Amino acid sequence: MTEQENRKVDAEIAKLIAETAKINKESHWYPLVVSSGIFAVVFAILKYIG
C-alpha cells in the first residue's frame, strides 16, 4: 500500500468510528422518544374519551 492509500484507509476508519459513536448516542435516546410518543398518544385518547 502506498502512503496515500494508507491515509485514505485511516480517514475511512475515522469516519466509521464517528458514525458508530453517533448511532450509539442516538440509540440511547430512541427508547425514550418512542415511549414518550406512546404516552402522548394514550393521554390524548384518554382525554378525548373522557
How far apart CA 28 and CA 41 sit, in angstroms, is: 22
- For the chain, the domains span 1-50
Map grid coordinates 459513536 to a residue.
21
pTM assigned to the model: 0.59
Digit-coded pLDDT (tens) for 8-47:
999 999 999 999 999 998 888 888 899 999 999 999 999 9
Checking if the pLDDT of 50 tops 80, the result is: no
Please, what's the largest Cα pairwise distance for the chain? 71
